[in-house]
């Protein structure tokens, strides 16, 4: 399996998970159809599955056109069956979703939205975290509570440290500014910021991050209890 990062809209990332053994792919959170189609047509790859982390338009905007063009199967959380356009396969928490050579564990991680899930490709040690865990940040809480979000992040925290994190947006630099403000003595964070500044200067995405880096540098993952997490989330909402 090979991951291709596709920039969409202003600062969204969609991801193609490509199986080179049969030229097929899944797309995670297609914000819009065109950039995905351009890539697939160029490389002659067939889009078999559309995986959605949650129902927000910047994560499902390409569902209908892509499904129509490739007859792809749309896969999402069962609780969001009314909100995910074109949904075919309804997933449950802790389920293993397996199709052809693709295999991922589904984790229900509410907070940003009530039906948010992530796709953990445990064999490849990759996780698609949507708008729940960002590099150096976490999603805004729209439909849940701080406590739910804190619990959801804790589910991700216990995965193997070398797990690669693929999130829904390029928010890393702005997130870094917030982390630096409230965690200014963190040497690992300094190193990470140097790295991402270099990447962005060269026009390279700061994604994927790794769980190890996030545990060392992401102030929201470093919060030890709901109370301190909530305080950070409030500060960030007004940052
Ligand atoms: Zn969202
Ligand atoms: Fe989003």
Q: Which CATH number does the domain housing residue 153 bear?
A: 3.60.15.10
Domain count, the chain: 1
Compute the radius of gyration of the chain from its Cα atoms: 17
Q: Is residue 201 part of a domain?
A: no
Residue ranges near ligand 2 (ion) with Cβ within 5 Å: 58, 131, 168
Burial label, 4 (beta-carbon count in 10 A; 0-12, 13-18, 19+): middle
Residues 124-140: pLDDT tens digits? Answer: 999 999 999 999 999 99
Does residue 232 form part of some domain?
no
The answer to whether position 94 is within a domain reads yes
Task: Give catalytic residues, as residue numbers.
Answer: 54, 56, 58-59, 112, 131, 169
Ligand nearest to the CA of 169: 2
pTM of the model: 0.97
Q: Say how many CA atoms lie within 13 Å of 225 toward its Cβ.
A: 2
The answer to whether residue 23 sits within a structural domain is yes
Domain that holds residue 64: 2-169
The answer to whether position 160 is within a domain reads yes
Determine, yes or no, domain membership for 211. no
Give the model confidence (pLDDT) of 98-132 as tens digits.
999 999 999 999 999 999 999 999 999 999 999 99
Based on DSSP, count helices (H) and strands (E) in the chain, helices before strands: 9, 14
């Amino acid at each position: 399996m090979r991951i291709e990062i596709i920039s969409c809209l202003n600062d969204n990332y969609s991801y193609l998970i490509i199986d080179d053994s049969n030229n097929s792919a899944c797309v995670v959170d297609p914000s819009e159809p065109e950039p995905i189609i351009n890539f697939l047509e160029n490389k002659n790859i067939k889009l078999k599955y559309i995986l959605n982390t949650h129902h927000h338009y910047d994560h499902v905007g390409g569902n209908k056109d892509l499904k129509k063009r490739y007859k792809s199967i749309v896969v999402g959380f069962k609780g969001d069956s009314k909100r995910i356009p074109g949904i075919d396969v309804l997933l449950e928490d802790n389920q293993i979703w397996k199709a052809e050579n693709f295999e991922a564990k589904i984790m229900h991680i509410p907070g940003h939205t009530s039906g948010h899930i992530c796709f953990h490709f445990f064999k490849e040690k990759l996780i698609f975290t949507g708008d729940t865990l960002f590099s150096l940040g976490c999603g805004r809480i729209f439909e849940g509570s701080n406590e739910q979000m804190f619990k959801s992040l804790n589910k991700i925290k216990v995965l193997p440290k070398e797990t690669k994190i693929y999130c829904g947006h390029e928010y890393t630099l702005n997130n870094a500014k917030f982390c630096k403000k409230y965690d200014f003595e963190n040497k690992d964070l300094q190193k990470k910021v140097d790295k991402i500044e270099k990447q962005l200067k060269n026009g390279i995405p700061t994604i994927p991050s790794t769980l190890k880096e996030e545990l060392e540098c992401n102030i929201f993952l470093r919060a030890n209890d709901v109370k301190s997490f909530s305080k950070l989330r409030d500060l960030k909402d007004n940052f």
